[in-house]
A and B are shown apart, each in its own frame.
Chain A
Amino acid sequence: MPTLPQRSTELEMPGTLEMSPAGLYCPAGGFHIDPWRAVPRAVITHAHADHARSGCGQYLCLSTGKRVLRERVGGSARIDTLRRGEQVRVGDVDLKLVPSGHILGAAQVCVTHRGVRWVVTGDYKLEADPTCDPFEPVETDVLVTESTFGLPIYRWGDPQDTADAINAWWRDSREAGRTCVLFAYALGKAQRLASMLDPSIGPIYAHGAVMKMVRAYRDSGVRLPPIDQLAPATRRAGGGRAMVIAPPSAAGSRWLKTFGETQVAMASGWMTIRGVRRRRGFDRGFILSDHADFPGLVQAVEASRARRVYVTHGSTASFARFLCERGIEASELSTRFHGEEGSDESDVDQPAADSDSPALPDEQADEEAVEETS
């Protein structure tokens, strides 16, 4: 039997996976997984900006994710692909990619080295999503799991109920003659939402950043309802009947102001918390996430039958402690997957300034500045 790493905050297993300055690295295979710097060889779980950086010499991803990753890393990058479940030998390890259900082409990375299997989940969700392949549980020895929503307050309902609520909101807004603006991450969430909309209610428009990824999805064979990119001249053309899907960075922008009367909503797991909804000033908050909720995380960890679990992203300390108390050897894996850039393309849809700070820090800072200058 191989020796499992000691309890620590870093992976210390020589050979299979370890933390390097560029992120998670597999010395035996000579590749990084979701590196945060340009490296020679990168295995990519999915194309969100905090997992897929441009500039690497060679990318490997799930075949369904190639077109989307191309959008992210540029036309000249070398992208190799694996079919779902296809196993290849890379250096001294066996490597395969298994769908994680997160967004189109998102994969869990399975690395088997000297008989010990490691699975890096990347981001995942267990719910059905018509725009991507469903999560496949994989049994493993060591599991590296995300825990973005690793607190028990996060429990998603049936996505169909969310779809119904969004369509009902759209109908109501149409009656009031107000254009609906739905904020969502441009890659993944936006397309999933588009697939949930009832196009009989009115026209669907998308912000340019969203539209780029809509095209990539369509090119990959995902069926989506008719969506038009919104040219400046057409903004009022929806006549208060339209649904506009836009990235959150468009909130409060001049672009948005040109729509006239709008109803603004955000679709995210963070919308679970009333205070987050309120502070961000959305008219509505729809709870819809491409990450697993707390019961989903627990279910996935248990289904993996992993004897050792590393927890990354989000509520890592709490979730690891919770697992330990349930008899699963778990600890935090410190990463820098998030926080390097505040891109909307990232689906670590942390409500940046809102998650751990009140609405007032800028106000406070300003008050103090005034005192100094007066």
Chain B
Amino acid sequence: MRRFARLFHDLDATTRTAEKVRALVVYFSEAPAEDAAVALAMLSGKRQRRGVTTTLLRAWAAEAAGIPDWLLEESYAAVGDLAETIALVLPDAAVDAPSRGLAEMIAATIEPLAAADPAEKQRIVTATWQQLHRDERVVWHKLITGGFRVGVARTLVARALAEIAGVEPATMAHRLMGLSAITAEDYQKLLDADAAVDDPTRPYPFFLASPVDEAVASLGDVADWSAEWKWDGMRAQLIRRGDVRVLWTRGEELASDAFPELIAAAERLPEGCVLDGEVLAYDECELLGFAALSRRAGRRRVTAKVLREIPCVFVAYDLLEADGQDLREEPLHVRRARLAALGLPAFKETADRTEPTAPLDGVEEAPAPRLFFSPRVSADSWEALAEARATSRERGVEGLMLKRCESPYRVGRPRGDWWKWKVDPLEIDAVLLYAQAGHGRRASLHTDYTLGVWDGDLLVPAAKAYSGLTDAEIAEIDRIIRQTTRERHGPVRVVEPTLVFQLAFDGIAASKRHKSGIALRFPRIARWRREKQPAEAGRLEDLRALLPPSQQAERP
């Protein structure tokens, strides 16, 4: 526990990527496998079971510290973090008790806490306080109240583990894909340099595109590029390996339960096949839009009514594995040719609506196709592509994707081979960092948001935007803000970065007055991206890349 607390504090204390990786390497090379496995699951964002409410914890802490409740609350206001406040006010442990391992602590305290009655809970909590150092208490309080989150990008965890295992970071990133609960054995397998980690459900790390502006002609010969529509849906991998059929979102959430019709359709894919593509809400004639899709995403169970009202399809644009072979090193044109050979129908965003014909007796109606192929948008010049792109809005797509024909399927967002050439308004996915209550009708709700984008592994504020969300969404987000508040400063709440929004803006300029170095013109929230994880949010360099060329040089 002491070791894990040290990791937590080290990650929290530094803003330098290299030092975060260093701290992770130190932790994972020293921790016993059973602790490391638990730590890895928690760093991967595994939700914790709540053992005790913060209300009870506050009352017991005030009692143990010999201070009135109001003074604990005033202390909380000064610290901004309840777990830390309680750790600070409690008297130090009487004896220097030997530190118990993380896994043991969880088994010995958190699991029993969840099952205990209040009196027993208090006994466990006060007894455990006697065994914990101040720094350990902070972490333990977060664990028992279900509020443990740590600000470390998954790529850094992958880098640290890769260093320990002596494998490439991309290899480790792949091994970590889709990992949630893991055992000590799983963990040891992860670190095995030559292990073929053969979990059949495992997806590949996604290759992400970077935004590109009007200067696309600088990309070179248009013939070297494969263009497709940028579908306005949810990025996903559809996997069929033996009996396993799963759908993974880009946030590494298993979305199979939310899209049963796609899982059913995957049965017709050949064995050993992994598709990269987009889930779209589509009713056989037209796109239903992103708002409709968001009613499907992130659900554990989908009602028959929602299934009927919002049918979904999967539009594949890449083939990552065929016949059980990893194709990612093959050039895009080869992968696309093999994808085409699967015989999926080319997706069209609109189709003529035909009257349903009554099925013949005894003959089952052929199910509507669910899996499609994302066709190439052909053009012999950049001008022609620009013309095609100009039709994006009426097609209900976000613009064009430009992919270099010779590109392998890379990991992460290396610039150069994949570009997203969106139509205006400019957009970026950003993470909620600070929230403040609104005015008037919404004075009791948090409606003013400060949103951040990634700069290295840090989230930096990029814009302040007022909510353009529905009342129902605002109420739901307000609840989440209250639950995930990390610090309070007067009316402003610093929240755990968990909520992702699509931020639309009309322009961008370099700004020396902003820490981010950029200022967005008329930033506003376009929509809530429930299906996205903070790690998937946009990057500061994406925004900088949108600066007019004259301002690019000014950036720090």
Contacts and interface: CB of A to CB of B under 8 A. Distances in A.
Interface string B45-81: 0000000000000000000010110111011001111
Contacts of A322: 67-68, 71
Contacts of A273: 78-80, 84
Given A278-B13, A363-B450, A151 B84 contact: no
A33 to B, nearest CB: 28
B464 A374 contact: no
Interface stretch (B118-126, B238-246, B509-517): B509-517
A284 interface: yes
A357 B71 contact: no
Contacts of B492: 358, 360
Interface string A355-372: 011111011101111110
A54 interface: no
Given A363-B461, A363-B464, A367-B464, A275 B74 contact: no
20 contacts: A151-B71, A151-B75, A153-B78, A154-B88, A155-B88, A274-B84, A281-B15, A315-B74, A318-B71, A356-B490, A358-B494, A360-B434, A360-B492, A362-B513, A363-B464, A363-B515, A364-B464, A366-B511, A370-B511, A374-B507
B82 to A, nearest CB: 12
Contacts of B385: none
A127 B381 CA distance: 78
Interface in A305-329: 315, 318, 321-322, 325
A275 B79 contact: yes
B487 A275 contact: yes
B187 interface: no
A152 B433 CA distance: 29
Contacts of A368: 464
Interface string A135-156: 0000000000000000111110
Contacts of B463: 367
The residue among A275, A321, A368, A374 with the most chain B CB atoms within 10 A of its own CB is A275
Contacts of A283: 13-14
Nearest to B436: A364
Interface string A88-106: 0000000000000000000
Nearest to B460: A363
A69 to B, nearest CB: 33
Nearest to A319: B71
B179 interface: no
The residue among B65, B461, B511, B520 with the most chain A CB atoms within 10 A of its own CB is B461
Interface string A181-220: 0000000000000000000000000000000000000000
Interface in A334-366: 356-360, 362-364, 366
B43 to A, nearest CB: 18
A58 interface: no
A208 to B, nearest CB: 29
B502 interface: no
A53 interface: no
Given A360-B461, A366-B513, A277 B75 contact: no
B368 to A, nearest CB: 47
A304 B148 CA distance: 44
A81 interface: no
Nearest to A325: B68
Contacts of A274: 9, 12-13, 81, 84, 138
Interface string B452-463: 000000000101
A272 B78 CA distance: 11
B208 to A, nearest CB: 27
Interface in B82-103: 84-85, 88-89, 92
B347 interface: no
Interface of B: prevailing SS: mixed
Interface string B101-125: 0000000000000000000000000
Closest 8 CB pairs of A and B: A153-B88, A358-B489, A367-B464, A370-B519, A152-B89, A363-B461, A374-B521, A153-B75
B382 interface: no
Contacts of A371: 522
Contacts of A325: 68
Contact of B88 (A272, A366, A369): A272
A44 B330 CA distance: 79
Given A152-B67, A318-B71, A360-B450, A366 B494 contact: no
Given A283-B13, A358-B487, A275 B450 contact: no
Contacts of A321: 70-71
Interface residues of B, number: 44
A285 B67 CA distance: 27
Contacts of B490: 356-357
A363 B487 contact: no
Given A275-B80, A363-B515, A367-B523, 7 more contacts: A152-B89, A153-B79, A274-B9, A283-B13, A358-B494, A367-B463, A367-B464
A152 B84 contact: no
Contacts of B81: 274-275
Nearest to B79: A273
The residue among A151, A273, A283 with the most chain B CB atoms within 10 A of its own CB is A151
Interface string A267-283: 00000111101100101
A358 B436 CA distance: 12
Nearest to B78: A151
Interface in B408-441: 433-434
Nearest to B72: A152
A364 B450 CA distance: 8
B59 to A, nearest CB: 15
Nearest to A366: B513
A269 to B, nearest CB: 12
Contacts of B511: 366, 370
Interface in B497-556: 507, 511, 513-515, 519-523
A358 to B, nearest CB: 4
The residue among B464, B492, B511 with the most chain A CB atoms within 10 A of its own CB is B464
A151 B461 CA distance: 31
Contacts of B515: 363
B521 A370 contact: yes
B439 to A, nearest CB: 14
A268 B489 CA distance: 21
A212 to B, nearest CB: 32
Contacts of B487: 275, 358
A151 B489 contact: no
Interface in B136-164: 138
Nearest to B15: A281
B521 to A, nearest CB: 5
B65 A152 contact: yes
A54 to B, nearest CB: 33
Nearest to B135: A274
Interface string B380-401: 0000000000000000000000
Contact of B514 (A278, A284, A315, A363): A363
A168 to B, nearest CB: 14
A284 B13 contact: yes
A138 to B, nearest CB: 26
A302 to B, nearest CB: 14
B84 to A, nearest CB: 6
The residue among B71, B522, B523 with the most chain A CB atoms within 10 A of its own CB is B71
A342 B434 CA distance: 27
B140 to A, nearest CB: 15
A78 B536 CA distance: 67
B89 A374 contact: no
Interface in B457-501: 461, 463-464, 487, 489-490, 492, 494
Contacts of B507: 374
A152 B80 CA distance: 14
A270 to B, nearest CB: 10
A159 to B, nearest CB: 15
Contacts of B9: 274
Contacts of B514: 363, 366-367
Nearest to B516: A363
